[in-house]
Structures are given as structure tokens and as C-alpha cells.
Structure 1
Amino acid sequence: MKYFVLFFLISTELNAQMMTSVYFVHNSYELNLESKQKLDSLAQLRTSLKFKIFGNCDPSGTNEYNNKLSENRANTVRNYLQNKISENIQLINAIGLGEEKQINDNSTDELRGKNRRVDIFIEKAFVPGEKISRNALPSFLSTEISQMKVKDTFSLPNVNFVGGRHVWLPKGQSEIVKLLKILKENPTLEIELQGHICCDYENFDGEDLDLKTFNLSFTRANAIKEFLLKNGTDSNRIIAKGLGHLNPVAYPEETELDKTKNRRVEVVLLKK
């Protein structure tokens, strides 16, 4: 996937923070061509931004080795960007986290490869006192299919999650059953489930306390996907994606209700 084609969105739509990652081969901190292209795209952004850079690795070495390798990866990305960016972008830090922020288990080389990465948090700071209170999206459960447009985003009302977990609150169960019914009655529909988190603005995504992985927004979307698959929906019709805290409904989260609103999954219509 060519991630760098997405970065034009940041300059116009970024409200809080976004993350992208570049990946490395085993025991290396050398950038490949795709990673350089991605970083070149970041360097072209013209909005006033702050970049925070965090290196990661799989657990195949000692703690000391992994810490140093992840630090080298972070510094490689920082040094590459330093020579490319203009003064509108600040490089805040470059930190090696070792194997601390695993986002996948390490049961296959593909999954280990996703832990061998550098995460770049792209932040546009809020103006002091600024608040976000997003208007409610139309409900996927009550909008006529004929009125939906491909690529539109819809809410799943009342589908919210326990803090730090991919378990939805009890009131969401009946709503997810309704989603299942809609998909069964409309077998050509294809959707993307987009998971969200609250509260953690130092990291792009949160820790799933049950799985001990740092991809909570994805595991929330995937939990709904797994329910739909278990109940007969074809896997080719559903994509699960995690967006971290990229699009908060409410910011800052001043109440428990604000936090609950942000712990959600939304639906993008991919095909009618």
C-alpha cells in the first residue's frame, strides 16, 4: 500500500494528531525506497506541525540491543527529515522504545515485521481553549440504503466501548445485531469499520488491556467484524481499520460522557 498518497489530508483536515509508520527489515535501521517516499511526502506539508518520532522493534534481541536498535531507527528517520523539512515543521523528539509498544504478537514474520517500525506522530496543536464538538453523523442503522452514497461515513449509535478494551457496552449489542440484519438483507453492501479511542494524545493508538497490544482502535473495529463474520457475513464485505484518536467527537474530554462518545466505531460505505 502506498501510504504517502494520503498525506494531503493532513494539511486541511488534521484537528489533533495523526500517525504514520515506516518499517524496517530484521536487525536494520536503513530506510528503503518506500519509506523514503513516505517521508518525502511528509516533508512537503506546509501546515505548522510538530513531529514526534518513536522507534520500535520486535523482541528478538536483548533489551539493551532492542533499545539501541529502536533508537537508531528513530534517529535515522529524524536525520532524513531534518534535511528535507521547512521551518513550518518542528521535530520535537526521536526516542527509541525498544519492544515496549508491540502492536501485534510475534507468531509470524509478517506480524514481527509490523513491530519493526518507526511511528511518526503528526500534531497540529489546538489553540488554547479550543474545543471540538462534532455534529452527529447520520446513522447507518436508520438511513435508507437508497439515500446512502459510497464513501460516506455513518455512525453506529449507542455502540461505545469499555475504556481500554475492545468490549462494547451492553446497550450496543442490539445495535450491532441491527447492523448484521442490514448486511444480510442487502448482500451487495460492503463496508469499512473504523475504530476510535479517547484520551491518549501522547500515542496515536491506545493499549488494548486484554490483548496487550497498542492498536485499540483497530481491535474495537475488528471485534465487530468478528461478530458479523461469526454470524454469517462474508469476510470479503468488511474491512476493519483503526484511526486512533484522529477524529474525536469531543475534545477535550472533560466528562466521562465525552470519553464514552470517542470510544466508538463508525461505518464507511464502500459498495452498494
Structure 2
Amino acid sequence: MKFILALLFSFMASCAIAQEQVSFFFDSDKFVLKKTELLKLNEWLIVNKDVKVVGVYGFCDEEGSVGYNDTLAQKRINYVFNIIKGKVKIREDFKTRSFGKLHTLSPIKAENRKVTLYYILPKDFENEEKIIQEKPAAVVEKKKPIIKFPDSYVYENPDGSTATIKLDTVFMRKVSAANVGEKLKLENMNFYVDTFAIIPQSRSVLFELLTIMKSCPDLKIQIQGHICCVQKDFRDLSTQRAKAIYKFLEFNGIEKSRMTFVGFASTKPLYPLPEKNEAEREANRRVEIEIIAN
């Protein structure tokens, strides 16, 4: 059985007001985030500096005793909390309004080694006290089927020949396990400068997303494009880039009803414009997918 230590405000589980969540994943037996997940957390803090965190879950896989897992989960919670405190609003009484709970989670170990933040948007702040008064309900985790993703994809070239491309199975599992409302960056999704033409080196990302959509028939996504450097997206590149990925999926048999696309131009930067360096520009010009149904 897999165990979980849940640190959660008592009002949160039954909250009917709009509630958001985001997860950060750990390596086995670690309570410090690896570089990519730490970057994801810092990027989330930049975009969501006005929200209020209302609850935290700490997850572990089944390795080790119950007591060991509880301790490891608590360390993961404390680690994330120490990063976010002072950077985002957090309920002052969250520790006194929390409870622990053992729980059965996904049979895929990598999906369980995480900390999930639950938060509310500024528009819901006025309902916070009303939410607190609600009687907490049992937390139910939706079990998802185990999907064994292939580590390669064979496709046909225009001349009729075939080619094999390597796939990132870790990323595919992460998308399949993501909750509704989560956003995931398409790493290494790059375009030729000032165009919406995808460079050949990013082809594997397209086939990873295609494989996920084919393997998870209930998955629905929104493809979101972002650009860097300029205040105005005169050529609407952010939309055109998101649309290019949408059209690839459509061409390869994914139903239109399962996906949408949108361009945000530079209205949701991870770093303020003008960016200070190439690393910040690269972070701002990105494509993300938001989980609409899963």
C-alpha cells in the first residue's frame, strides 16, 4: 500500500468555491526538489504572487515504513513551505487547522512522490471564512489506470521512408497523472525565430504529446502560447505557435473536441519585461498545456 501524509486546512476538502492546485515532484527518497521542479515552483510563484495558499499535501510511495514515509512527506512539505513563505499569501493558522491521513494512491510510484499546493484566487478571498466553516469531507483520490508508454515512435517521412524518434516517458507519465487545472510546460518546444515553424529538434515533443493523447482517451487539453521580449504581439505569434501544435495533433487523428489553443502574447510572463538575460527570455517564450479533463 502506498502512503501519504496530508497537511491540509480542514475547510479545503469540501470547498465549493473555485480552487486551484499545482504539484511538484521529487526523486525517490528525496525531500529536496530537483532543478527542473524547483524552477517550476519558482515560475509558479512569479505568476501566482497574488493568490493565497490554503492547503498542502505531501505524498510518498510505498517504500519504507509508515513512520518513515510520514517523516519524509513532512520534510517535503516543510521544504516547499520554506520556499513559498514570504512570497505568497498563506493562512496563518494552517498548521492548527490541518490533519494527517494515510491514503492509497496511484500504483505508479513516480506519481506519488510530490507535494501539491491548493490555493484560491483573489476573487475568492471574500469567501474564505465561509469556506472555513464548512464541515470537512473525506479526501478521495481518483485512481488512474497504469499506462505503459513506449520509449520510441516510428513515423513515416514524406518520401515513404520511416524514422524512429526517442520519447520522454517520464514527461508522458506526468501529463497522464496531472490533475484538472494543472499546467505543464512543453520542454524543448522551440520555433524558428519570428515564425511559428517548429524546429526539427522539437519533433520528439510533438510525438510525445500525440502518444499521450492517443493513450489517454479522456484527456482534454488547452495549448497555450507565450512570447518574450515585446509588449505587443503584432503578428500573433503566440496564437500561431499554439495552433501549429493543435494542427499537428488534428492531422494525426486527435479529435478537435479534445483540445483548444490560445495565445497570451506577453501578458503572462514568468519574468518582467524587458528580460535581463537569455535565460529569462527563454522562460517567457514557452508553450504550456493546461489539463481540462483527465
TM-score (norm 1): 0.43
